[in-house]
């Protein structure tokens, strides 16, 4: 049994009380590892070490381009060992191996992108008056905390940690207790690198024991959190007690809006992929289909055929859809499907299945639900599974109204060949990302990602995310002869 320790102050740390938490492979339900059940004392030790490391001359003297080189070296390492990393992510999360490979490449691209940006984080000079030279300088915040979800552990660690280190911060990662394997692999690389000890640390455990104390710690300067709305609100409240900024990504109920003139094959493929990726356990999943009224039955018939052709099985064998993470998630999804059977109409899927040889895994057929009122809870709340709800619209105005009718605003897809309709709808949809005739854009490393409304606060990805981990200092110099 693989035991995963924490990395604190450059040392591998266990639990003096010998408390460990099991980690399971979602594909078969078998235990594959165990992690330290961290506690507040571990959090305090990690924060103290990060403070010291951040203030040391050893870190201050590392030039920006040298920080960048280190991150690019990590990107190269990930690519050179891509299959090993992919197997870890597949085993940990249960997702199809091809999707795990895409996640690994995305992680490498994050470290590469922010490695290249490390020496390009620049301030401005501002004209004031004759005899005053005024400039802004972007300085690191200090100790940043990164609380990671279980569905895309490697990608989400990489996108925030890379930006934070590139700008000169010390980082503490709290991985999800269900999916710690690739976080540990990153920890091993950082521990063996020439990065000063304490600049990258990894703590493990459950949210109340570790995540809460991290978010509320008085000596941190920023929290990045991806997860549920309820937990995100708790993180924000905890950080607010110390006037600490947060970057929150809290999910979505994202629509694909399909007009009758859409390129049918592209739209069908886009709608399917948007809801089945990682078995629908994706914050940006296209979980609502809004379709032009006169085109609904034709499109839905072809969509149902595609759903019925999808394959389901263990991630290692690269079926279209892998397992649900655990029984808790599975029960939640199946409960909502049962509600749909009474309040709406299941037109595809809607059942759990058992895979021979993988009876310990939790598998659900991809499901299409029709006939619900748009105000129904299943149309408003995240299901976080391979479940698509369908609603007709009469015209572009109704499509926009329906798209905007939830508390979320993370991603939207618009499918039409009419450029006027496409741009008009894009301008009116309240969503952090809008895709026209595509959905997701291959990870979009360079694209700012975040949401309107209750989908969160702030943006990750792209150059804009570097500002999350810096603060502006204005310096005004008066000179005269």
How many CA atoms, within 13 angstroms, populate the side-chain half-sphere of residue 108? Answer: 18
The rounded percent of the chain whose pLDDT value lies above 90 is: 97
Alpha helices in 241-374 (DSSP H): 264-276, 296-309, 327-343
pLDDT > 70 in the chain, percent: 99
Q: Sort residue 299 into left (φ over 0), alpha (ψ -120 to 50) or beta.
A: alpha
State the sign of the Cα–Cα–Cα–Cα dihedral 123, 158, 326, 95. positive
Beta strand pairing status for 31-36 and 2-4?
Answer: parallel
The three-state (H, E, C) secondary structure of 196-265, written as one string = CCCCEEEECCCHHHHHHHHHCCCCCCEEEEECCHHHHHHHHHHHHCCCCCEEEECCCCCEEEECCCCCHH
Written as six digits, the tokens of 249 are: 């990504």
Residue carrying structure tokens 């999360």: 93
**Phi and psi at residue 319, in whole multiples of 5°?**
-70, 175
Pairwise CA distance, residues 407 & 382, whole Å: 11
Closest residue by Cα to residue 424 from 284, 308, 298, 259 = 259
What pLDDT is recorded for position 15? 67
How is residue 463 written in tokens? 């150059």
What is the SS3 string spanning 81-104?
Answer: CHHHHHHHHHHHHCCCHHHHHHHH
Residue 412 host element (H or E): strand 411-415
Among residues 302, 293, 294, 318, the alpha carbon closest in space to that of 266 is found at 302
Please report the pLDDT score of residue 14 as a whole number. 86
The average pLDDT across 349-359 equals 97
Pair 266, 273: CB distance under 8 Å: no
Number of helices (H), then strands (E), belonging to the chain: the values are 15, 25
The CA distance from 412 to 280, in Å, is 15
Whether the Cβ atoms of residue 310 and residue 366 lie closer than 8 Å to each other: yes
> What kind of fold does domain 2-250+458-475 have according to CATH?
Aldehyde Dehydrogenase; Chain A, domain 1 (3.40.605)
Q: Look up the CATH superfamily of 255-444.
A: Aldehyde Dehydrogenase; Chain A, domain 2 (3.40.309.10)
In the predicted structure, residue 346 carries a pLDDT above the cut 80: yes
Rounded distance between C-alpha atoms, residue 33 and residue 11, angstroms: 20
Q: What is the rounded CA–CA span in Å between residue 280 and residue 196?
A: 39
Q: Could you tell me the two tokens for 84? A: 């090993």
The one-character DSSP state at 449 is B
Tell whether the model's pLDDT for residue 101 goes beyond 80: yes
What's the confidence (pLDDT) of residue 442?
Answer: 54
Nearest by Cα to 94 from 226, 278, 364: 278
Question: What pLDDT is recorded for position 52?
Answer: 98
Give 162-188 as a DSSP string.
HHHHHTT-EEEEE--TT--HHHHHHHH
pLDDT band at 434 (very low <50, low <70, confident <90, very high): very high
Q: Domain coordinates of the chain in residue numbers? A: 2-250+458-475, 255-444
Is the pLDDT at 299 greater than 60? The verdict is yes
- Beta carbons of 257 and 425 less than 8 angstroms apart: yes
Mean pLDDT of the chain: 96
Does 255-444 match 2-250+458-475 at the fold level? no
Round to whole Å and give the CA distance between 267 and 398: 20
> Average pLDDT for residues 131-153, to the nearest whole number?
98
Helix (H) or strand (E) holding 374: none
| Mean pLDDT, rounded, for 249-255 | 95
Spatial separation of the C-alpha atoms in residues 122 and 137, rounded to whole Å: 7
pLDDT at 18: 75
Compute φ and ψ for 419, nearest 5 degrees: -65, -35
Rg from Cα positions in the chain:
23
Per residue in 79-97, pLDDT (tens digit) is 999 999 999 999 999 999 9
Q: SS3 for 312?
A: strand
CA-based torsion, 114, 118, 119, 123: positive or negative: positive
The Cα 231–Cα 129 span in angstroms is 48
Among candidate residues 91, 105, 177, 249, the one labeled active-site is: 249
Q: Tens of pLDDT along 465-480?
A: 999 999 999 999 999 8
- With 90 as the cut, is the pLDDT of residue 193 above it? yes
Q: What is the mean pLDDT of residues 126-141?
A: 97
DSSP 5-37: -EEETTEEE--TT--EEEEE-TTT--EEEEEE-
Does the structure show a pLDDT above 80 at 481? no
293 in catalytic set: no
For residue 360, give the nearest of 403, 325, 308, 389 by alpha carbon: 325
Burial of 302 (0-12, 13-18, 19+ CB in 10 A): middle
pLDDT category, 443, cuts 50, 70, 90?
Answer: low
- Residue 441 confidence (pLDDT): 62
């Amino acid at each position: 049994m693989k035991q995963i320790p924490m990395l604190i102050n450059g040392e591998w740390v266990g639990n003096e009380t010998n408390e460990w938490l099991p980690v399971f492979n979602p594909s078969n339900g078998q235990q594959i590892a165990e992690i330290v059940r961290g506690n507040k004392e571990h959090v305090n030790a990690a924060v103290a070490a990060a403070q010291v490391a951040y203030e040391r001359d050893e870190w201050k003297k590392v030039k920006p381009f040298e920080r960048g080189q280190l991150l690019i070296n990590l990107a190269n390492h990930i690519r050179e060992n891509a299959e090993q990393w992919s197997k870890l992510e597949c085993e940990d999360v249960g997702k199809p191996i091809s999707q795990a490979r895409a996640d690994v490449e995305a992680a490498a691209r994050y470290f590469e992108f922010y490695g290249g940006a490390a020496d390009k984080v620049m301030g401005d000079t501002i004209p004031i008056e004759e005899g005053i030279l005024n400039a802004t300088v972007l300085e690191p915040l200090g100790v940043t905390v990164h609380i990671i979800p279980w569905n895309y552990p490697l990608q989400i660690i990489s996108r925030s940690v890379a930006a934070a280190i590139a700008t000169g911060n010390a980082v503490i990662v709290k991985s999800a207790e269900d999916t710690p394997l690739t976080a540990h692999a990153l920890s091993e690389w950082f521990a063996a690198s020439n990065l000063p000890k304490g600049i990258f640390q990894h703590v493990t455990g459950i949210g109340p024991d570790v995540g809460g104390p991290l978010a509320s710690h008085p000596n941190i300067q920023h929290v990045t959190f991806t997860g549920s709305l309820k937990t995100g609100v708790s993180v924000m409240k905890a950080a607010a007690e110390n006037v600490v900024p947060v970057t929150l990504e809290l999910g979505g109920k994202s629509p694909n809006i399909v007009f009758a003139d859409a390129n049918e094959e592209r739209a069908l493929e886009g709608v399917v992929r948007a809801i089945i990726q990682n078995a629908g356990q994706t914050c940006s999943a296209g979980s609502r289909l809004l379709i032009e009224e006169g085109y609904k039955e034709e499109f839905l018939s072809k969509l149902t055929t595609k759903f019925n052709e999808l394959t389901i099985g263990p991630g290692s064998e690269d079926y279209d859809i892998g397992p649900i993470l655990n029984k808790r998630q599975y029960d939640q999804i199946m409960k909502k499907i049962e509600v749909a059977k009474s309040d709406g109409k299941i037109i595809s899927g809607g059942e759990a299945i058992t895979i021979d040889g993988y009876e310990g895994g939790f598998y659900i057929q991809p499901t299409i639900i029709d006939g619900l009122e748009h105000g129904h809870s299943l149309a408003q709340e995240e299901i976080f599974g391979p479940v698509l709800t369908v609603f007709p619209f009469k015209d572009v105005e109704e499509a926009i109204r329906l798209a905007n009718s939830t508390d979320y605003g993370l991603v939207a897809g618009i499918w039409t060949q009419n450029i006027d309709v496409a741009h008009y709808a894009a301008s009116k949809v309240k969503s952090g990302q809008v895709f026209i005739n595509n959905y997701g854009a291959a990870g979009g490393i360079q694209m700012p990602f975040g949401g309107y409304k209750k989908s969160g606060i702030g943006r990750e990805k792209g150059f804009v995310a570097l500002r999350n981990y810096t603060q502006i200092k204005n310096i005004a110099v008066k000179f005269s002869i």
